[in-house]
Amino acid sequence: MSDTHAESVAYVRDTMLKPQPAPAGESGAIRWLRENLFSGWLNTLLTVLGVLTIYFFVSHFASWFLHGVWKADSLAECRKIITAEYGQGATGACWAVIRDRWHQFIFGFYQRELYWRPVLTFLLLFVAVGPVLFQWVPKKLIWFTPIYPFLAVWLLWGGSVWGPILVAVGFVLAWIVFSLVGRYGSIAGFSAGAIVAILFWMFGVSPLAGILHAAIPLGIEPVESAKFGGFLLAITLGAGGIVMSLPLGVVLALGRQSDMFLIKTFSVVFIEFIRGVPLITLLFVASLLLNYFLPPGTNFDIILRVMILVTMFSAAYIAEVVRGGLAALPRGQYEAADALGLDYWKAQRLIILPQALKISIPGIVSTFIGMFKDTTLVAFVGLFDPLKGIPDFIRADFAWKGIYWEPFVFVGAIFFILNFAMSRYSMHLENRLQRDHR
């Protein structure tokens, strides 16, 4: 070929050029400053204004933070100390309220001598989610994960150990029925399993638990739901809601894409109804209306009721987020799975959902964060959430009457830490799963 070129082309390169470093002054801090802060007169003006604004806020709030008082028995005493130290008219934070009442912010009205139970439950939470969330945690620990929810309920609410065990047995029964009936179709198997489990929970659990407890009384001191409050309540609702709403949301998203008319219609109606109604409405339903529909005499725990509605609420949002992920997958993925002979559930589990969920991670985690913050709305149905319920209770004490900022700052900071951790984890997970375009 080269000889023909030599005749028709006048120029031939015989050595290739090596890459060279960029000229000096095109990198470094000075360039960054010039480019980002002082690139023109408008940008320079905005930079100066920005710095002034920041100075204004810091100069006002810094003194409030710096004048903080940690040791006092009432708000009045706090003010006295600040006036004495910084002069008339000085402002300062009265952190003494946190020092005095931190246990109520964290545990609500849980008995002091039983604080070890929520603390242990919280620590075990990390053991349970570790194998799922992090690769460096030994995978063998995964056996603990399905046990944890029942253990957590038992530790938090106490009482006989047989109740949680029998509820777990209900899941095992459902699984057995599903695998037996599932041969005749996955929907038949799923419905049969669900019906058996629900019947068992409604009519089997309490008499059986009574009999077993009479025979082998194993239990710890019971704690009523009314004693739950603060972050104990928020984290219980949040963690329960997160764990239950993800599978429910995925099922709803798949249902919405289903070819089966009934399933599709149910999913669409559920999602649109729940998304269209404010969460507070649902919480009122949980606290007031649900009692009318339940058989008289059933004592359906308020926290459980609220958790179910919070779960449904967040599941509706998750379903739409996951649907976005499903829609983003090329048709070819579905076709390749079909062509290999994978049935619907296997294709979903092995091919479609792993990819769709990966795409949906940011949306799912946003929904979780939003839901966790929304657990503070339970204040409206008389539960003691950390943002309003507990501070209102504390302010009812004459010593702390009129204290607003400090509880807000404290509770807000804890929420921020927890949510920021979730957000960082989601970014870490996205990076870990980033495989397609390396």
Partner 1 sequence: MTEPHFEREIDRSHMAVSDEVAIQIENMNKWYGQFHVLRDIDLTVQRGERIVIAGPSGSGKSTLIRCINRLEEHQAGKIVVDGIELTNDLKNIDKVRREVGMVFQHFNLFPHLTILENLTLAPIWVRKTPKKEAIETAMHFLEKVKIPEQADKYPGQLSGGQQQRVAIARSLCMKPRIMLFDEPTSALDPEMIKEVLDTMIELAEEGMTMLCVTHEMGFAQAVANRVIFMADGQIVEQNNPHDFFNNPQSERTKQFLSQILGH
* Shortest spacing between CB 352 and partner 1, in angstroms: 10
Residue 238 corresponds to which tokens in the numbers above? 């949040």
* Euclidean distance between CA atoms 360 and 366, whole angstroms: 10
Any idea of the CA torsion for 302, 307, 309, 310, to the nearest 10 degrees?
140
Find the part of the chain contacting partner 1 (CB under 8 A) among 83-91, 170-178, 202-210, 326-334: 326-334
Closest CA to 222 of 213, 234, 231, 212: 213
Q: Kindly report the CA angle at 391 between 415 and 307, in degrees rounded to 5? A: 55
Helix axes 75-86, 96-107, angle to 10 degrees: 150
- Of 35 and 338, which has the nearer Cβ to partner 1? 338
Residue 88 corresponds to which tokens in the numbers above? 């008339």
* Shortest spacing between CB 188 and partner 1, in angstroms: 14
Q: Decide if 227 contacts 109 (C-beta within 8 A).
A: yes
Find the part of the chain contacting partner 1 (CB under 8 A) among 20-28, 248-256, 343-351, 385-393: 343-351
- Of 140 and 435, which has the nearer Cβ to partner 1? 435
- Of 315 and 326, which has the nearer Cβ to partner 1? 326
* Dihedral class, residue 295 (left if φ above 0, else alpha if ψ from -120 to 50, else beta): beta
Question: Does 341 engage in binding with partner 1 (CB under 8 A)?
Answer: yes
- Of 355 and 419, which has the nearer Cβ to partner 1? 355
Question: Does 435 engage in binding with partner 1 (CB under 8 A)?
Answer: yes
- Of 359 and 387, which has the nearer Cβ to partner 1? 359
Single residue of 24, 215, 339, 396 touching partner 1 by CB under 8 A: 339
- Of 85 and 343, which has the nearer Cβ to partner 1? 343
Find the part of the chain contacting partner 1 (CB under 8 A) among 160-168, 296-304, 311-319, 325-333: 325-333
Single residue of 62, 187, 340, 413 touching partner 1 by CB under 8 A: 340
* Shortest spacing between CB 110 and partner 1, in angstroms: 44
Rg (CA), the chain: 29
Closest CA to 270 of 252, 258, 254, 287: 252
Q: Kindly report the CA angle at 57 between 56 and 62, in degrees rounded to 5? A: 110
Residue with tokens 């005499």: 297
Single residue of 355, 367, 375, 419 touching partner 1 by CB under 8 A: 355
Q: Decide if 272 contacts 255 (C-beta within 8 A).
A: no
* Shortest spacing between CB 133 and partner 1, in angstroms: 18
* Shortest spacing between CB 433 and partner 1, in angstroms: 7
Single residue of 137, 342, 361, 409 touching partner 1 by CB under 8 A: 342
* Euclidean distance between CA atoms 364 and 349, whole angstroms: 18
* Euclidean distance between CA atoms 164 and 177, whole angstroms: 20
* Shortest spacing between CB 333 and partner 1, in angstroms: 6
Total of chain residues touching partner 1, rule CB under 8 A = 22
Question: Does 343 engage in binding with partner 1 (CB under 8 A)?
Answer: yes
Residues that bind partner 1 (CB under 8 A): 330, 332-333, 335-336, 338-343, 346, 350-351, 354-355, 358, 433, 435-438
